[in-house]
């Protein structure tokens, strides 16, 4: 039997959602959080996210964020910062905390939140933290082939959200970030009065990276169609090298932006005429700001992790029996054939569909 918590919460209640993962998941969360806000405009909805991602919510009229103050790469926060975040959560006086994550840190924060209603999945460990346990979304929705957004939507349905399907993801651009982003583009040689296309050739997993020379070929094709080309990547040595590998494969002059914060990245993607990139967090941003999008999938499940968009999105993926896999290494071939098998022609065809 479902528990209509979202229907029964008193007016103007505060609800905290915890999801301590990566950029793509933070963007995907906006679909169901916003659906709840539209159903109950009186609720104050907050999400606890890694500090690096709080810029996603800076201009959001519906949602606010509490940053977990640790580095994205740290496995645990310091004892001092843990006490600080617990204090912040308790000060907010949340009526309900919904732990969408399930790890030990999020369980501890849920338990110590002071909230009357503490929600977690039925299969989560650390059961002490919860007084309301959500059954599997496959049981709630009666399907097994669920996207990540739909899996989360099953929770929301069980907790009383009456909508029949999830909303699209959506992000808002902060005016201050738009101004700094435009300044960064201009400094990189981009004419702000002419269209530009973003190519995002980087990924932490080598199994998810399309070849740099193929990105270079796409850059030349798009430049021939009148687009300026902007390459983006994270400010790490590895991703900067991935961006430079694309530039090295073409004589075409490309703008390179690899030191953007998340808010600036959202702004630059929002103003682009086209986004082409690997399966990654920035691809989810493109879907959430309605930029025409072509995303290249290799080893990950497109059923579960494709950008959650209702328009102008094309996904390119070739079927292999070993898909999906762990992604850390390719155990079937000497190179990750799933992503390497994607041709330039396939990507151009997808670009033509979204433009």
Q: What is the pLDDT of residues 266-294, one digit of tens each?
A: 999 999 999 999 999 999 999 999 999 99
170 located within any domain = no
Judged against a pLDDT cut of 80, whether residue 73 lies above it is answered with no
Last residue of a domain, one of 158, 187, 208: 158
Note whether 143 and 226 are same-domain residues.
no
Q: Measured between alpha carbons, how far is 255 from 218 in angstroms, rounded to an integer? A: 14
**Residue 90 lies in domain:** 5-158
Number of domains in the chain: 2
Note whether 184 and 83 are same-domain residues.
no
296 contacts: CB under 8 Å, gap ≥ 6: 210, 276, 277, 278, 279, 316, 317, 339, 342, 347
Q: Determine the 3-state secondary structure of 249 from DSSP.
A: coil
Q: How far does the chain reach from its first CA to its final CA, in angstroms?
A: 46
Note whether 183 and 70 are same-domain residues.
no
169 located within any domain = no
Judged against a pLDDT cut of 80, whether residue 78 lies above it is answered with no
Note whether 153 and 208 are same-domain residues.
no
150 located within any domain = yes
Last residue of a domain, one of 128, 158, 188: 158
Note whether 149 and 213 are same-domain residues.
no
233 located within any domain = yes
Note whether 191 and 336 are same-domain residues.
yes
300 located within any domain = yes
Q: What is the pLDDT of residues 304-334, one digit of tens each?
A: 999 999 889 999 999 999 999 988 899 999 9
Q: Determine the 3-state secondary structure of 15 from DSSP.
A: strand
Note whether 121 and 232 are same-domain residues.
no
pLDDT band at 133 (very low <50, low <70, confident <90, very high): very high
349 located within any domain = yes
Note whether 191 and 246 are same-domain residues.
yes
260 located within any domain = yes
165 located within any domain = no
pLDDT at 70: 58
Note whether 64 and 132 are same-domain residues.
yes
Radius of gyration of the chain (CA): 21
pLDDT at 21: 78
pLDDT band at 255 (very low <50, low <70, confident <90, very high): very high
Last residue of a domain, one of 132, 158, 184: 158
Q: What is the CATH number for 293?
A: 3.40.50.2000
Q: Measured between alpha carbons, how far is 136 from 170 in angstroms, rounded to an integer? A: 26
pLDDT at 76: 55
Note whether 247 and 285 are same-domain residues.
yes
């Amino acid at each position: 039997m479902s528990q209509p918590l979202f229907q029964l919460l008193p007016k103007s209640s505060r609800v905290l959602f915890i999801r301590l993962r990566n950029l793509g998941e933070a963007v995907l969360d906006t679909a169901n959080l916003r659906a709840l806000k539209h159903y109950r405009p009186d609720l104050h909805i907050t999400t606890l996210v890694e500090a690096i991602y709080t810029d996603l919510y800076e201009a959001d009229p519906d949602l606010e964020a509490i940053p977990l103050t640790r580095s994205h790469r740290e496995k645990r926060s310091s004892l001092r910062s843990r006490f600080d975040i617990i204090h912040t959560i308790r000060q907010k006086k949340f009526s309900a905390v919904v732990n969408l994550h399930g790890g030990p840190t999020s369980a501890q924060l849920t338990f110590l939140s002071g909230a009357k209603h503490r929600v977690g999945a039925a299969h989560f460990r650390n059961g002490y933290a919860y007084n309301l346990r959500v059954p599997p979304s496959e049981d709630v929705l009666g399907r097994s082939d669920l996207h990540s957004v739909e899996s989360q939507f099953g929770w929301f349905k069980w907790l009383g959200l009456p909508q029949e399907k999830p909303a699209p993801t959506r992000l808002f651009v902060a005016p201050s970030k738009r101004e700094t982003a435009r300044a960064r583009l201009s400094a990189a040689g981009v004419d702000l009065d002419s269209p530009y296309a973003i190519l995002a050739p980087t990924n932490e997993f080598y199994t998810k990276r399309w070849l740099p020379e193929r990105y270079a070929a796409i850059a030349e094709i798009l430049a021939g169609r009148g687009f300026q080309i902007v390459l983006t990547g994270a400010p790490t040595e590895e991703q900067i090298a991935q961006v430079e590998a694309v530039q090295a494969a073409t004589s075409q002059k490309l703008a390179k932006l690899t030191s953007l914060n998340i808010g600036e990245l959202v702004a630059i993607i929002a103003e682009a005429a086209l986004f082409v990139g690997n399966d990654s967090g920035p691809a989810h941003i493109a879907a959430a700001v309605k930029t025409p999008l072509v995303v290249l999938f290799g080893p990950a499940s497109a059923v579960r992790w494709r950008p959650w968009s209702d328009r102008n999105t094309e996904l390119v993926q070739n079927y292999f029996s070993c898909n999906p896999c762990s992604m850390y290494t390719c155990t079937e071939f000497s190179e990750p054939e799933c992503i390497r098998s994607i041709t330039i022609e396939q990507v151009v065809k997808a670009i033509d569909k979204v433009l």
